[in-house]
Amino acid sequence: MLVYAIQRIGLSILILITSMVMLFTALRMIPGDPATIMLGSRATAAMRARITEQLGLDDPVLVQLGTFFGRILQGNLGTDMWSQRPVSQMVLENLPYTLVLIGVGLGWAALIGIPLGCYSAIRRNSLIDRLTGVISVGTISIPSFVVAIYMILLFAIILGWLPVIGAGDVGDRGDQALHLIMPGFALGLGWVGYLSRIVRASMLEVMGDNHIRTARAFGLPEFRIIKSYALRIAILPTITLLAVAIGGLLSSAVFVEAIFARPGIGKLIVDAANMRNFPVVQGGVLTTVALFALTMPVADLLVAWLDPRVRATL
Amino acid sequence: MINRRELLRNSAFLAAIAALGIKPGDVLAADTDLLKVRMEADIQVLDPGYMIGGAETSIQYACLPRLAVPVKDAAGKWAWAPSDYVEKVNQDDDTHISFTLKPGFMWNGELGEVTAEDVKYSFERMLKTDWAARWPTLEKVEVKDKYNGVIVLKSPFAATFLMGIASESGSVVPKAAVEKLTDQKFTTELPGQCGPYMMVEWTPKQKIVVKANPDWKGAKPVFQEVHFINIEDTSAAELAFEAGEVAITNVLPSTAARYLKEMPKNAKLATQEGPYYTWIGMNTQHEKLKDIRVRKAIQRAIDVKSILDAAYGGTAPLAHGIVPLGVTGNRSVSTYTYNPDEARALLAEAGVSDLTVEFKTLNEAYRVTAAQIVQANLGDVGIKCEIIPLDSGPFWNLGLESKGEDWKNLQLWWMRYRTSPDPSDTIQWFIKSQVGVWNWERWSDPEYEELWTKGLAETDTAKREQLYIRMQEIMEDTGAYVWITHDPLNYAHSDKIVPGYDTGGEILIETFKTA
């Protein structure tokens, strides 16, 4: 188990380094002079020179890369091109909002999707199963930003029930919770269908296993069979899926963040990319990649810990 | 810049409106205790020497002193007037501007009174900053005593007020505080404040809170507290406005057109003259466009009215030059009009047939829409037009000789610049020394150069008006320009407020009134 853990963490570090080199290269391959793009048509020579110097764009690319990694190893993500604020501070300000949003979105999706999947599997081919199937596919196919827009139109503009903009007043938990309802719902809706389909398929597979048949032969109550013997096994693929979901939502949350004008790591990166603010883009992406790279081994280790069959193969 | 995802999102928004049959709702009424306004981009640099613009400008006007403020004159043109901070500010002669500060305007903290030393420090430091170009002829500021001083120019410069003193570049900063800062620069925290408002809170990427300054000796602002809410996406800001969460936001041209048909309840649409000028440029040195008759044929082949209807929802005015509305030198008429027959005749006279041209534009939805109309118009007169949408990186390098060889193959393009409210700022990009830099049309003219030099020193407004109009006539006569518009800034706002704006179309909260 320890060797496995070390292997997984090592792989994550490798992913992190590769991603950063790729990002660094990609940013510098964007056509155009970053200083001119950042400043637009009215850039004066003095402005361009200052930005070029500040970004170290005159240095050889390898020197820039070395400087970049050197800083990261010292825990320094650099400073914002314009405001001169530490990127790490900006990331720390924005990251919690995204994590909470993802938590709420995935949380409610799991709360609804997993029982729905179980029910569909138990009542296979029933009307509810078929209806759930149609709704699941529907929710999977609707982009979160479309859901967000319809929700705003309905609940904010027509009914006026929910706030539409921002993350709520700092320190006011109630206000912040209110501001999470629509974004969280919009972000999680697609995953309700996805989770229910995965759990249903997994449950159907497990329900056909010998140990379930044996449990039934012993006359155990159906609820206990499902809860203690079927769902415990069927839920395992869902754990891996949720880890993947966190990675996916780190990027897709940006649409919801933009529409609801919520702060967040995705929005921070996109806004910075639009302004070619390289240090913020690099710092933000490094953080999200690190999070994703951390989530995957945690999920793998969790599955190994929960499932003796997986443990036995290590 | 709109990308595929934004296009999808905006389309989804429009589809949602259509599907639900939603009519604009009732916007939030603003009261005098709290006003919420939309801020398009978060503040980055409040230092007038290194600012970017947007909300930064609004904060500078609200929280920092200045000697003069921009006002519209009787003819509707931008001019200047003494600010609340001064007893007087006076242009004594072409190169001397004297001022007398009112006593009693105090910086916050322990920074004391606003003095002539602060003014001297603030203006002279601008010469070493990114925005030194706003003060091209400033020599020094002489301090006479605590409240009196004289701004000395090396040579006359007519735009000293509108580009410098009365603009955001004319913000006065507290010398004692700024001198203590690293590199004598600041970013998101004002080192000292003295204005109708005080910036009291900044939550990055969320909001800025300003409150009425209780020690302010000038005209009291109407709203006691103003929140600048950071909403970067304009479609999202429009939704926020309709949901009543902000009392004012700028809106997209398509939304302005929709609002013109049916406004939300308790809302108004204000179209503000913007600082932009948009045109279609032609490279006069390109083999295909060398013949002026071909360029003039293209001028006459393009139906600008259709472009304004399709790309701007009919909300933008037709331009007749580059100097924007409300600025000295704005032209009200052109020497050419849309006339496809004349275009065909000019092409025939030039002996041109089977002409194919490339039209390059930034890849933004409205610009591509406009490009498609240009393509159809040129097709009508027998010119095949290939549209090439580009991202900002390659686009902004197209005409720069320092950035490669693209300028050699540049033919037609869609361009928009932003300007200060003085024609010298607007016109400067087309002089001879700008060929290969920002004069992508690549022409020069001795009369234009002479008028350019004259214009910088001329202080008589009527003479300047004629001078800059003549310069635009010269530009038009090159055949290298199809004037499109001066993009207006459309603001949707609660009908309970009367907003005020600066010369760049940014909102000035201290000038807001209740209706």
Report the distance separating Cα B508 and Cα B497, nearest Å: 13
DSSP-derived 3-state class of residue B48: coil
Contact B417, A41 (CB under 8 A): yes
Q: How confident is the model at residue B21 (pLDDT cuts 50, 70, 90)?
A: very low
Give the β-pairing of B355-362 and B481-485.
Answer: unpaired
| Band of pLDDT at residue A57, cut at 50, 70 and 90 | confident
Cβ contact (<8 Å) for B243 and A160? yes
pLDDT tens track for B164-211: 999 989 999 999 999 999 889 999 999 999 999 999 999 988 899 999
pLDDT of residue B36: 94
> Residue B449 is which amino acid?
E
Q: Is the Cβ–Cβ distance between B293 and B378 less than 8 Å?
A: no
pLDDT at B19 over 70: no
Q: Do B242 and A157 touch (CB under 8 A)?
A: yes
Rounded to an integer, the average pLDDT of A83-87 is: 87
Question: Hey, what are A99's tokens?
Answer: 């994590």
Q: Which of A:127-156 have CB within 8 Å of B?
A: 143, 145-146, 149-150, 152-154, 156
A308, with CB counted inside 10 A (0-12, 13-18, 19+), is exposed
Rounded to an integer, what distance in angstroms lies between the CA atom of residue A222 and that of residue A240? 27
- Of B203, B250, B195, B251, give the one whose Cα is nearest residue B227: B203
Residue B15 has pLDDT above 80, yes or no: no
Of B22, B243, B438, the CB nearest to A41: B438
pLDDT at B20: 47
Band (B130; pLDDT cuts 50, 70, 90): confident
A157 touches chain B (CB under 8 A): yes
Which one of A90, A149, A255 has the shortest CB-CB distance to B204? Answer: A90
Task: Tell if the CB–CB gap between B130 and A44 is shorter than 8 Å.
Answer: yes
Residue in B74, B44, B73, B71 with CA at minimum distance from that of residue B60:
B44
DSSP line for chain A: -HHHHHHHHHHHHHHHHHHHHHHHHHHHHSSS-HHHHHHGGG--HHHHHHHHHHHTTTS-HHHHHHHHHHHHHTT---B-TTT--BHHHHHHHHHHHHHHHHHHHHHHHHHHHHHHHHHHHHTTTSHHHHHHHHHHHHHHHS-HHHHHHHHIIIIIIIS--S--SSS--TT-HHHHHHHHHHHHHHHHHHHHHHHHHHHHHHHHHHHTSHHHHHHHHTT--HHHIIIIIIHHHHTHHHHHHHHHHHHHHHHHHHHHHHHTT---HHHHHHHHHHTT-HHHHHHHHHHHHHHHHHHHHHHHHHHHHH-HHHHHH-
Taking Cα atoms as reference points, which of B389, B396, B385 lies closest to residue B368?
A: B389
What would the mean pLDDT of B242-264 be, rounded to a whole number? Answer: 90
What are the tens digits of pLDDT across the range B375-400?
999 999 999 999 999 887 788 889 88
Q: Which residues of B touch A143 (CB under 8 A)?
A: 8, 12
Residues of A in contact with B425 (CB under 8 A): none
Nearest Cα residue to A253 out of A263, A238, A244, A243:
A263
- The pLDDT value recorded for residue A44 is 65
Please provide residue A97's backbone torsions phi and psi, each rounded to the nearest 5 degrees. -65, -40
B34 touches chain A (CB under 8 A): no
Q: Is the pLDDT of residue B23 over 60?
A: no
B182-211 residues touching A, CB cutoff 8 A:
187-188, 203-207
**B230 interfaces chain A, CB cutoff of 8 Å:** yes
Of the candidates B248, B202, B243, the residue with the CA atom closest to the CA atom of residue B223: B248
- Three-state DSSP class for B71? strand
Best residue of A84, A162, A278 to probe chain B, by most B CBs closer than 10 Å: A84
Burial class (CB in 10 A: 0-12, 13-18, 19+), B218: middle
- Tokens representing B84? 């609340």
Question: Residue A265: its pLDDT value, please?
Answer: 92
Over 60: is that where the pLDDT of B229 sits? yes
Closest approach of A122 to chain B, Cα-based (Å): 37
Residue B31 confidence (pLDDT)? 62
pLDDT beyond 80 at B4: no
**Between residues A59 and B341, which one has the greater pLDDT?**
B341
B317: pLDDT strictly greater than 60: yes
Q: What is the mean pLDDT of residues B330-358?
A: 96
Cβ–Cβ of A149/B25 closer than 8 Å? no
Q: What percent of chain A has pLDDT over 90?
A: 16
DSSP A11-46: HHHHHHHHHHHHHHHHHHHSSS-HHHHHHGGG--HH
Q: Smallest CA–CA separation between B44 and chain A, in Å?
A: 5
Residue B160 is encoded by which pair of tokens? Answer: 């000293």
Asked if A156 and B239 come within 8 Å (Cβ–Cβ), the reply is yes
- Cα–Cα distance, B275 to B417 (Å, whole number): 8
Nearest to B146 by CA among B69, B84, B63, B87: B87
User: How many Cα atoms sit within 13 Å of A287 on the Cβ side?
Assistant: 28
Report CB contact under 8 Å: B16, A145: no
Q: Which of A93, A152, A274 is nearest residue B1 as measured by Cβ atoms?
A: A274
Confidence tier at B305 by pLDDT (50, 70, 90) = very high
- Comparison of pLDDT for B21 and B53, the residue scoring more: B53
pLDDT digits (tens, 9 = 90+) for B436-467: 989 999 999 999 999 999 998 888 889 999 99
- Cα gap B294→B282, rounded to integer Å: 10
Give the distance from residue B6's alpha carbon to the nearest chain A alpha carbon, in angstroms: 9
pLDDT > 70: percent of chain A? 95
pLDDT of residue B9: 52
Q: Are strands B355-362 and B148-153 parallel, antiparallel or unpaired?
A: unpaired
**For residues A76-90, average pLDDT:** 86
pLDDT tens by residue, B192-201: 999 999 999 9
Whether residue A259 lies within 8 A of chain B, CB to CB, comes out as yes
Integer Cα distance of A84 and B67 in angstroms: 29
Confidence of residue B30 (pLDDT cuts 50, 70, 90): low
Residues 6+ apart with CB under 8 A from B18: none
For residue A268, list chain B residues with Cβ-Cβ distance below 8 A. Answer: 205
Token pair, residue B149, equals 């001083």
Instruction: Tell me the mean pLDDT in the region A146-160.
Output: 87
Res B67 pLDDT > 80? yes
Provide the pLDDT confidence category of residue B32 given band limits of 50, 70 and 90. Answer: low
Which of A8-22, A122-136, A300-314, B268-282 has the weakest average pLDDT?
Answer: A300-314
Return the closest-CA partner of residue B379 out of B313, B447, B301, B269.
B301
pLDDT at A248 over 90: no
Mean pLDDT across chain B, nearest whole number? 90
pLDDT digits (tens, 9 = 90+) for B34-51: 999 999 888 888 999 988
Q: How far is B321 from chain A (nearest CA, A)?
A: 18
Tell me which chain A residue has its CA closest to the CA of residue B129: A46
Q: Which of A149, A155, A256, A271 to mutate to test the interface with B (most CBs of B within 10 A)?
A: A149
Mean pLDDT estimate for chain A: 85
Task: Output the pLDDT for position B29.
Answer: 41
With a cut of 90, say whether residue A273 has pLDDT above it.
Answer: no
> B16 at the A interface (CB within 8 A)?
yes
Residue B510 confidence (pLDDT): 93
Chain A nearest-CA distance from B343, in A, is: 31
- Supply the ipTM of this predicted assembly: 0.73
Percent share of chain B, pLDDT over 90? 67
Instruction: Among A36, A83, A94, select the one facing B44 at the smallest CB separation.
Output: A83
Residues of chain B in contact with residue A84, where contact means CB-CB under 8 angstroms, are 187
Angle at the Cα of A287 (from B237 to A290), degrees rounded to 5?
135
Cross-strand bridge partners of residue B278: B416, B485
Which pLDDT value is given to residue A297?
83
Is A145–B187 a contact, with Cβ atoms under 8 angstroms apart?
Answer: no
Of the candidates B188, B232, B417, the beta carbon closest to that of A271 is on: B232
B22 has a pLDDT exceeding 50: no
Task: Taking residues B221-229, report their average pLDDT.
Answer: 94
Q: Is the separation of the CB atoms in A258 and B233 below 8 Å?
A: yes
Beta-bridge partner residues of B90: B98
**Average pLDDT over every residue of B251-273:** 89
Least confident of A34-38, B144-148, B187-191, B325-329: A34-38
Closest Cα in chain B, distance from residue A96 (Å): 13
pLDDT at B133: 83
Cβ <8 Å between A158 and B22 = yes
Question: Residue A112 corresponds to which amino acid?
Answer: I
Asked whether residue A314 carries a pLDDT value surpassing 80, the answer given is no
